[in-house]
């Protein structure tokens, strides 16, 4: 298992793993008012060549087509690993910009995230009138950032 992104050390070990630094680096790139899903971040990182290993083959003989985070020899994690990194280390970056694909706000941090979204003008879908007391969801079609230049909506 060593050498995979799933081997993220427990919090409090004193150092941030290289994979976690990469995830946090992507979170810092997301413009205000935009979001990326955990899967988007994982896909972004899968497109990067692992540092210090130029010339490695894209996929090993048993990698099953180079699936990301499937233990096929790639040192890139999937959405769950990105979520774990954000849970353990995300407090120092704009954590509210890395979200669930369904647009639901992070359970337990909904009100803090909502304040950030409103401050940044992130597109939201208001809760239905019948859902009294419910917080809005992100409007993923409008809020999702693909890594393009300025991050303007549209």
Look at residue 97 and tell me if it is in a domain.
yes
Tell me, what CATH number does 26's domain have? 1.10.10.10
Q: Answer whether residue 71 shows pLDDT above 90.
A: no
pLDDT at res. 144: 97
Look at residue 6 and tell me if it is in a domain.
no
Residue 20 structure tokens: 């976690």
Look at residue 85 and tell me if it is in a domain.
yes
Look at residue 148 and tell me if it is in a domain.
no
Look at residue 11 and tell me if it is in a domain.
no
- As a whole number, the mean pLDDT across the chain is 78
Look at residue 42 and tell me if it is in a domain.
yes
Q: Answer whether residue 2 shows pLDDT above 90.
A: no
Print the domain residue range for 45. 18-53+66-143
Of the pLDDT bands very low, low, confident and very high (cuts 50, 70, 90), residue 4 is very low
Look at residue 3 and tell me if it is in a domain.
no
Instruction: Please say whether the beta carbons of 41 and 144 come within 8 A.
Output: no
Look at residue 49 and tell me if it is in a domain.
yes
Global pTM reads: 0.72
Q: What is the pLDDT of residues 73-88, one digit of tens each?
A: 345 689 999 999 999 9
Of the pLDDT bands very low, low, confident and very high (cuts 50, 70, 90), residue 13 is low
Specify the number of domains making up the chain. 1
Question: In what helix (H) or strand (E) does residue 139 lie, and over which residues does it extend?
Answer: none
Q: Is 10 exposed, middle or buried (0-12, 13-18, 19+ CB in 10 A)?
A: exposed
Beta bridge partners of 144: 35
Mean pLDDT of 92-104: 96
């Amino acid at each position: 298992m060593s050498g995979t992104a799933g081997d993220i050390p427990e919090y409090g070990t004193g150092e941030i793993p290289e994979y976690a630094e990469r995830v946090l680096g992507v979170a810092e790139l997301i413009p205000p008012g935009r979001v990326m899903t955990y899967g988007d971040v994982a896909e972004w990182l899968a497109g990067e060549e692992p540092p210090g290993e130029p010339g490695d083959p894209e996929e090993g003989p048993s990698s099953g087509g180079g699936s990301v985070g499937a233990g096929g020899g790639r040192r890139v994690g999937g959405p769950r690993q990105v979520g774990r990194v954000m849970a353990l280390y995300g407090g120092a970056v704009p954590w509210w910009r890395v979200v669930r694909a369904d647009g639901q706000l992070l359970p337990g941090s909904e009100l803090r995230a909502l304040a950030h979204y409103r401050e940044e003008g992130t597109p939201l879908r208001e809760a239905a009138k019948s859902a009294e007391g419910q917080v809005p969801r992100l409007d993923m079609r409008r809020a999702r950032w693909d890594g393009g230049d300025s991050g303007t909506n549209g």
